[in-house]
Amino acid sequence: MAQLQPATAAYGDLPPELDDPLFRQALGQFDQVVERADVPPAVAEVLRYPERSLSASIPVRLDDGSLAVYPGYRVQHSSVLGPTKGGVRYDEAVTLGECAALAMWMTWKCALLGLPYGGAKGGVRCNPRALSRAELERLTRRFTSELLPIIGPQRDIPAPDMATDEQTMAWMMDTYSMQVGHAVPEIVTGKPLSVGGSALRPEATGIGVVTVVEEAVRRLGWGLAGTACVVQGYGKVGGVAAHELAVRGAQVVAVSDIGGGVYAPSGLDLAHVDGWRLEHGNLSGYRSAEVVTNAELLELPCDVLVLAATENQVTGANADRVSARLVAEGANGPTTLEADAILGEREIPILPDILTNAGGVAVSYFEWVQDIQRLFWGPDEIRTRLGDLMRRAVERVWTLSEEEGVPLRRAALVLSIREVAGALTARGIYP
């Protein structure tokens, strides 16, 4: 096997477009484990940065006839293990650096689960709540057109993320298919069933989160029955996770969304919460439980705190007031490096994002495989395969964490970075 020589020239300071707090967080995590993962310096230097990034300006005709232009991005971190894979988000905080961090985490997540993918991420900086459905469709189709040179079923396969859903994926699939002249369902995952989506994909991330939590509490000797859970972010991940926790016997005592949080120490009526959100859009104004702010929600006394909203939620400023016994990262990057250290000192274990929310990309992989084969599996088969994958990953991470006496995040990163670094070393650097 070819040995790469040590790096002779470092990349130097971060280029301004990557100089983003979230990318620094991802790099900080990488740097913490790279030595333990036994990665040669030259290989580490390659893996520290994204392979390819695209920035585009997305002009959109608004319903009133005016034109707005939104910044859009797609970052591919590594294609060493296969085509890149990752979500598309619509959010006012989207930057190239944020996408680069999320793309890097996707690489580690796929490797940890043994999926033949690298990581990517993309998004458009906009306020999706201020756009009509027709405007969102035009935005999505134009964004997809801008991505055409770099996406493809064997190159880069988008999926839903914050404020995007199966309708967004159907528009992306249709736009791509119109360009190539035939239906290409395998270009995106998270599509509706009617256009080649997979059973259980909408629920996959939330179910995966709860599978990891259940495995963790079993190993900690508590079990899920009666466990008091707080869920921040009642969206595609957190909403499903809250229901799945309740189904498996836990007690969901508080949830929140962009409109605020609600708390009932004896357990929330989730069906009632769903009804309110369906009618009003978010939790603002909900009065059938105690109202708490999102900041207060993170500090509520509970057994398990599920972070399923967005990044940068538990920080150096509030980590010492988190009152949970276990933190589960349903969202990507919700705990800063500083908070990681504080929770570590307080002996509050963190179930890391690259393990905990990997159920989404696992079933996305199943969807892609089914699309390529034009052969579809039933929900029971997918649930079994998902459960097996997630439990195997927890087992590997937990074992390494115990063997080496390191936090779960470090163990997960060591396992995945080793995998990618090994493949890169074997392939070598082209030319």
For ligand NAD, the closer of residues 165 and 338 by Cβ is 165
Contact between 232 and ligand NAD by CB under 6 A: the answer reads yes
Contact between 357 and ligand NAD by CB under 6 A: the answer reads yes
Local structure of residue 256 (DSSP, 8 states): E
State how far Cα 112 lies from the chain centre: 14
Among 145, 167, 177, 294, interactor with ligand NAD by CB under 6 A: 294
**Least distance CB 42 / ligand NAD (angstroms):** 31
Contact between 77 and ligand NAD by CB under 6 A: the answer reads no
- CA atoms of 15 and 402, how far apart (whole Å): 38
User: Which among 109, 121, 191, 236 is annotated as catalytic?
Assistant: 121
Size of the site for ligand NAD (CB under 6 A): 26
**Least distance CB 299 / ligand NAD (angstroms):** 13
Contact between 189 and ligand NAD by CB under 6 A: the answer reads no
CA angle 92, 97, 101 (to 5 degrees): 105
In sequence order, which ranges of 74-219 are alpha helices (DSSP H)?
A: 96-113, 133-147, 166-180, 201-219
**Least distance CB 48 / ligand NAD (angstroms):** 21
- CA atoms of 43 and 398, how far apart (whole Å): 26
CA atoms within 13 A on the CB side of 77: 37
CA atoms within 13 A on the CB side of 167: 8
Q: What is the CA radius of gyration of the chain?
A: 21
| Chain residues 84-103 in contact with ligand NAD, contact rule CB under 6 A | 87
For ligand NAD, the closer of residues 361 and 408 by Cβ is 361
* C-beta nearest to ligand NAD: residue: 235
**Least distance CB 329 / ligand NAD (angstroms):** 9
Among 330, 349, 352, 422, interactor with ligand NAD by CB under 6 A: 330
Nearest to 64 by CA among 147, 135, 142, 141: 135
Q: Identify residue 324 by its one-letter amino acid code.
A: A
Among 140, 332, 336, 416, interactor with ligand NAD by CB under 6 A: 332
Nearest to 228 by CA among 267, 262, 260: 267
Q: How many residues does the chain have?
A: 431
Catalytic annotation on 109?
Answer: no
350-351 and 326-329 as β-strands: parallel, antiparallel, unpaired?
parallel
Mask of contacts with ligand NAD, 238-267, x by CB under 6 A? x-----------------xxx---------
For ligand NAD, the closer of residues 45 and 166 by Cβ is 166
Q: What is the largest CA-CA distance in the chain?
A: 64
Interacting span for ligand NAD (CB under 6 A) from 158-166, 174-182, 266-274, 413-421 = 158-166
Q: Helices 201-219 and 236-247 meet at what angle, rounded to 10?
A: 50
For ligand NAD, the closer of residues 95 and 205 by Cβ is 205
Among 58, 100, 151, 162, interactor with ligand NAD by CB under 6 A: 162
Contact between 160 and ligand NAD by CB under 6 A: the answer reads yes
Mask of contacts with ligand NAD, 360-389, x by CB under 6 A? x-----------------------------
For ligand NAD, the closer of residues 232 and 401 by Cβ is 232
Residue with tokens 């690259």: 354
For 253, the enclosing helix (H) or strand (E) is: strand 251-257
- CA atoms of 180 and 167, how far apart (whole Å): 20
Active site (catalytic) residues: 121
Q: Provide the binding-site residues for ligand NAD, judged by CB under 6 A.
A: 87, 160-163, 205, 232-238, 256-258, 282, 294, 308-310, 330-332, 357, 360
